[in-house]
Structure 1
Amino acid sequence: MHVVYPGSFDPLHNGHFDVIQRASRLFGKVTVAVLENPSKRNFWLFAPQERVEIIRQAIAAARLTNVEVDSFHGLLAEYMRRVNARVIVKGLRAVSDYETELQMAHLNRQYGNHPETLFIMAATRWSFVSSTMVKEIARYGGDVSKLVPPATAEALRAKLSTIGG
């Protein structure tokens, strides 16, 4: 079965990567779909193609042969129809995530090929990690190497050195 794990992944952290690895053990094909949203261009630290490349490097390092990375813009349900996938995988850290994701799951079922949403609970050791926190720590020169895959840590160092942290 082909599933899609969508998100902004700005940047990819160990919580995201844990969901990717666990989904890859459960399903025959996992597509990590990076959201492109031109209206939030100034919001992102990494451009969509940079995020795609970081995820590809992390997947290659882990030798996850049934995982691919793509990017999309527009409605997730339309993307699901385009790639012929019927299941959306989402990671949940807390009840607050569930409330938001539940609404999106119901909305997605109204469109496209009526995709189902499967929630994977975050591993306890990563349940406190968010991309926002990772970026904040990295901007202030903190060590995020225990929170992110090596590809992300390197990309953060390179990006923040060019924009002045």
Structure 2
Amino acid sequence: MRRAVSPGSYDPVTNGHLDIVTRAADVFDEVIVTVMINKSKKTMFTVDERMEMIRDVTAHLPNVRVDSWHGLLVDYCRANDVKAIVKGLRAISDFDYELQMAQMNHRLSGVETLFMPTNPEYSFLSSSLVKEVATYHGDVAHLLPELVHERLTARLAERA
């Protein structure tokens, strides 16, 4: 079975994330969207909330499952017999960082990293940017799956 992991914080999952996951699901037998836990990172949604949103927006993809992990991604790959990491690249600046990570991951475990260029429609998109714009009441509805936009709007209203 060709299995890949698509790691990220997904706080929240965007249309850009969903594009990469959908395209990876066309290539691999199974794609595991893995919410990476970084306790030093301040997030808007809990790990469970992020996983639930990802499950909801990928429900139409039968070969996608959602998991979480705290620790080295290569340890997750070993524990789950994953041979490939799929990462989306928005810009050359992403490549600089991701190439270093890919080389380290390969050196540590032999796992391969495959880069997918982001759909140009989402080349500027990040969860951080979406949250910042939404915080100041900017329209981000077209950047997120509808359910995620609703959850983001509700969370911002709770915090106001």
Q: CA deviation at 1:151?
A: 2.0
Gaps of 5+ in 1: none
Q: Distance in 1 between matches of 2:39 and 2:100?
A: 23
What corresponds to 1:26 in structure 2? 27
Q: CA deviation at 1:10?
A: 1.0
- Report matched runs for 1:15-164 at 5 Å: 15-40=16-41, 43-60=42-59, 63-112=60-109, 114-164=110-160
In the superposition, the TM-score normalised over structure 1's length comes to 0.94
Q: CA deviation at 1:39?
A: 2.5
User: Which amino acid counterpart does residue 2 of structure 1 have in structure 2?
Assistant: R
Q: Distance in 2 between matches of 1:68 and 1:56?
A: 7
SS of the residue corresponding to residue 45 of structure 2 reads coil
SS of the residue corresponding to residue 119 of structure 1 reads strand
Q: CA RMSD in A?
A: 0.9
In the superposition, the TM-score normalised over structure 2's length comes to 0.96
| Equivalent residues of 1:78, 1:111 under 8 A apart | no
Q: Distance in 1 between matches of 2:54 and 2:154?
A: 16
Mean CA deviation greater in 73-82 or 142-151: 142-151
SS of the residue corresponding to residue 81 of structure 2 reads coil
After TM superposition, the runs of 4+ consecutive aligned structure 1 residues lying more than 4 A away are: none
Gaps of 5+ in 2: none
